[in-house]
Chain A
Amino acid sequence: KNQVEQSPQSLIILEGKNCTLQCNYTVSPFSNLRWYKQDTGRGPVSLTIMTFSENTKSNGRYTATLDADTKQSSLHITASQLSDSASYICVVSYRGSTLGRLYFGRGTQLTVWP
């Protein structure tokens, strides 16, 4: 069964600290993996996309990694800011899929305290 599991479910960190969010998936055959950021009361916004051949990709203070062998991805946030408080959603698509065949994680709720 194709699934996407994220951990932790929620996380609280102090401003300026780093954190890492995890995503494990069983979706196969794999096409790509996206991390989305969803601010409270708003729609998700794409942060980064990882394809099968990519191991690491950065977008400012966000760095995503992918291990296609173990089917794991992580999102590392450096020097966190209050504006990083949001839900981070991992989305995996399988090869040949349309948008109707995306698999969503439940998200990690990150809270950054001053």
Chain B
Amino acid sequence: ETGVTQTPRHLVMGMTNKKSLKCEQHLGHNAMYWYKQSAKKPLELMFVYNFKEQTENNSVPSRFSPECPNSSHLFLHLHTLQPEDSALYLCASSRTDRDTEAFFGQGTRLTVV
């Protein structure tokens, strides 16, 4: 295990549902990230948090709402998603947002129906 835990591993939700993804890291890192991984596409950065503060929002639609209550926990709140939002959502952490090594969680496979 990499020290970054994501739950749930799989999620199926309707377009009108509200759900949340959870990420927890046990590495003592100060930066956390959400990535989206779609089939045959490179990983897409969504959000960056450093010391609980959001430092980057990569033009993500408002139907994705991140929350970082402390340096160890990161959430991604989902509401009124579209089928094209179906993907693997990966959480990652690093010592600081200047560090170039990412430690990834196992991801949440999201299917929007």
Please measure, in the bound complex, the distance between the C-alpha atom of A107 and the C-alpha atom of B33, giving whole angstroms.
20
Please measure, in the bound complex, the distance between the C-alpha atom of A86 and the C-alpha atom of B83, giving whole angstroms.
26
Is A53's CB within 8 Å of the partner chain B?
Answer: no
> Which residues in A have their C-beta under 8 angstroms from that of B74?
none
Partner of B48, one of A31, A46, A49, A99: A99
Partner of B100, one of A42, A45, A97, A105: A97
Q: Mark B54-65, 1 if CB is under 8 A from A, else 0.
A: 011010000000
Number of interface residues of B (CB under 8 A): 30
Within 8 A of B (CB), among A65-114: 89, 93, 97-100, 102-107
Knowing A100-B33, A100-B48, A106-B42, the reply to whether A41 touches B107 (Cβ < 8 A) is yes
Count the A-B residue pairs with Cβ separation under 8 angstroms: how many?
68
Query: Contact residues of B with A, CB < 8 Å?
Result: 2, 4, 6, 9, 31, 33, 40-43, 45, 48, 55-56, 58, 90, 92, 94, 97-107, 109
Please list 29 pairs of residues, one from A and one from B, whose beta carbons are closer than 8 Å in the complex, sorted by A's number. Answer: A4-B42, A9-B40, A31-B100, A32-B100, A34-B100, A34-B101, A43-B90, A43-B105, A44-B90, A44-B102, A44-B104, A45-B104, A49-B101, A89-B43, A93-B100, A98-B31, A98-B98, A98-B100, A99-B33, A99-B48, A99-B94, A99-B97, A100-B45, A100-B55, A100-B56, A102-B100, A102-B102, A104-B42, A106-B40
